[in-house]
Chain A
């Protein structure tokens, strides 16, 4: 074994991603804090469209997931991959392209989302040009990673790398699958699938964005950084194998648990439930392997802030992955869904698991990149306690708010009336909880700034090593394995086979669920009375999407007495066949809107948008005066009609030519209605509000029974 090769690790790219992680962490959390405060003080949007809740909520989620955690993944992977494979990154160019490409995408997101350019799909809001850019950069990352794997000096792939591989292939599949859309213009597209199918694909994506962007890559990071920081052997190799394969195979099936009691067929809902329950053990396998690796090092956990952060992170992961399956049981979901319980749940995962693991890694990594010691253990400990308190103050009030509101929604009086018939009562009740949650978020931000100070001081004290020298025996010295060994060692020597096996594992669940839904027509029973949107309604719908109304309003009445009593007949899958994209939403900060059509006069909506407090005193919905002021852009209406025709919406041949005329005719009717009620504006029919009103008045009316009385 005298043969040893000298080479160096590329730390410069790690440093770049590290800085990006730190910066976008601040951005993501601060935008979240602003959104949280807006739920207490709606006027904090300052009356500006771009800073209104509906538009900055996707900015927050995208910044936290793809900018903060995304850069965190790349930071962790670029550092660990080189060392686990005993080689330098495959291509300097691809590393740089990956880094700058990803930051450019983040910049594009930060510009387009506040402008209301969105495809309305949660965690996949970015429009098609950016989607293509994401695909390119992601492929560059994959090529760079696989190039590195192929020129490795380490014969076997360590468990962290299995997770990196599964992450890469699954995110690729999900991103492409959920962004199949037909462009109308540079910044507008309609998805290929409509209604129920679109919903199923979106939550197949959405759930697995959590699984394969927030979970599997971070498990990979845990498997590298936790044993390194604790200086302990990994508890069980066998557990790594079983929980890895079980996790990636089962995770992909669980998406429909986001659609329990919706119009999705029952068979698909139940698959979501049972696979979520089966997910407990594989998820806990990761937690156990993390926590049990610390056996014999618990005395150090008391001292070392890095280990403290990691312990809380892994524990939060265990809590969230137990709670998730519980929330997937239909009777629990009937209580939790659409409430803040869900928000509390995901933030245990993001603030606890992703946040704290990132902090632990940062405190461990930066001193090593800069060949120095952490500036202050004391400050790191302070950060740990402030952050932990922040998580508690964030989550507990939201759990409380979720339970309170859900119980209020469902409460009937003995004579059969809703106890809280006015939705607003159930909102004003929990505003104090929202205030406490914002306090928790503030604590978390304060802790974060303490960390930044500590890390900056560390960086200043050290000197950066751009190329870290290393040496290892070359691949030519690899042993030939013929004797007895664990069966899994075979695939650990074969990255391509591992990639193929992982791909098969993650494709099965998606295929079984999505293909029948997309291919078999009677999965969605047809309703004859359901008609496509008129051009005006369509434009109104696109305004609804632009303003992010779906961030607070669902369009899905579930088959519960408390919902049909409050909103009207429960939603049927056949009602959504022209919905591109579907707009079922996932949270009710305001009431469901699927049956709002015809419930109020046009002028009510006009006044409500001008100032929600005039029609709903105490409402936390912000005013939308710009809808009353801005003129509706009909420049794309014909193109939109053509795109929808291509996708299968049955507008008559050549309808795009007369669509704008139709639009103006309908706008005139709405405007006249408004004038009758004393609303004075001579250009009323040209305003955006008219389109939005037309859309809202259409909602849910296709199957609405005739009014019972009235003359």
Chain B
């Protein structure tokens, strides 16, 4: 038994070393892939290393046990058979009981008279129990954590600062977003946006206008204006075409209080809400704000000659007629 265990140790050590070697290789490969831990192979290596580690510990434990036993046999040989019999007749404890005892190292309630201090304060006595070993161990572990943590972040320069963490997060996110967008169809922006006229898109635009866009708080529930300008008349401060509107929504006009929505609305949502706003042309809501800006006239040079833009022009024509 003893020989077997002794043989096991070098074998285990060898295994451990080779697995560490494999770990090193896996880490080397990981340089190419961004997420080392996604690599199933490395998980396998990690598991193997853990198994070997536990096996080694077990072997060492066995070895220690055997050495203790050998020592005990020597003692019994000196003290005679009675000592051995006494030892054997003692009740055996399970490993958990022993572990519990060792970790708490508590004096049982029945024996506490032995460790009672003779001082008392208003009748309060104190026991001389030792510090619970598990508690002491926890204290040491937390102190070690503190030292390692602080060294890692502030003395070695290896741990990232808050600002570096932020930079890394932003780069990672940028990559992920680009990768996602690459799989999506062409994006809408102010150079290629087109007016939407289908019912669904207008309804979606209306929902944004009255909902998360909170446009109505400044431009009125029906586009009649308020803090912001009236959007049902043909007068526009920053242009009344779909591209102008999209641009105003996207970047805002901060100096006049119109905020930029590009971080809160998706491009298609900005397209929908801009289209909805243009659909309000000439609706003549109650309490309209006086016209602001210039009378907008459709400039055809850049606009694609599709049906939707014609419709807008027609609506405009009506509106102009009415306001005159």
Contact = CB atoms under 8 A, between A and B. Distances in A.
A271 B146 CA distance: 9
Interface stretch (A412-420, A436-444, A585-593, A661-669): A412-420
A413 B256 CA distance: 30
Interface string A278-303: 10111011001000100110000000
Contacts of A466: none
B217 A560 contact: no
B169 interface: yes
Contacts of A371: none
Interface string B132-157: 10011011001101110110011000
B212 to A, nearest CB: 5
Given A280-B138, A709-B251, A710-B255, A604 B124 contact: no
Contacts of A271: 150
Interface stretch (B31-39, B64-72, B113-121, B195-203): B113-121
Nearest to B169: A561
A239 B131 contact: yes
A224 B132 contact: no
Interface residues of A, number: 76
Given A228-B123, A234-B126, A417 B255 contact: no
Interface stretch (B10-18, B88-96, B177-185): B177-185
A59 interface: no
Contacts of B170: 561, 564
A559 B160 CA distance: 13
Interface string A311-326: 0000000000000000
A559 B126 contact: no
B254 interface: yes
Given A277-B145, A417-B264, A707-B254, A267 B124 contact: no
Contact of B256 (A228, A414, A601): A601
Nearest to A570: B166
Given A278-B143, A421-B263, A707-B260, A235 B169 contact: no
A154 B218 contact: no
Interface in A49-89: 80, 83-84, 86
Interface in B272-308: 289
A282 B250 CA distance: 55
A227 interface: yes
B160 to A, nearest CB: 10
Interface residues of B, number: 68
Given A416-B177, A421-B264, A237 B127 contact: yes
B247 interface: yes
A621 to B, nearest CB: 14
Given A235-B129, A414-B180, A261 B162 contact: yes
Nearest to B120: A233
Contacts of A158: 121, 124
A236 interface: yes
A600 B165 CA distance: 31
Contact of A238 (B124, B130, B145, B162): B130
Interface in A574-602: 598-602
A603 B257 contact: yes
Interface in B160-194: 161-163, 165-166, 169-170, 173, 176-177, 180-181, 184
B253 interface: yes
Contacts of A240: 126
B322 interface: no
B57 to A, nearest CB: 25
A278 B142 contact: yes
Contact of A228 (B112, B124, B126, B289): B124
A269 B154 CA distance: 11
A559 B177 CA distance: 19
Contacts of B153: 266, 270
A267 B161 CA distance: 9
Contacts of B266: 413, 415, 417
Interface string A654-698: 000000000000000000000001100000000000000000000
A205 to B, nearest CB: 23
- Top 3 A-B pairs, shortest CB-CB distance: A601-B257, A709-B251, A274-B146
Given A285-B135, A710-B255, 20 more contacts: A224-B124, A233-B127, A236-B127, A237-B127, A238-B128, A269-B162, A270-B154, A274-B146, A274-B147, A281-B138, A296-B109, A414-B176, A416-B180, A421-B263, A559-B162, A559-B166, A566-B263, A607-B227, A709-B247, A710-B252
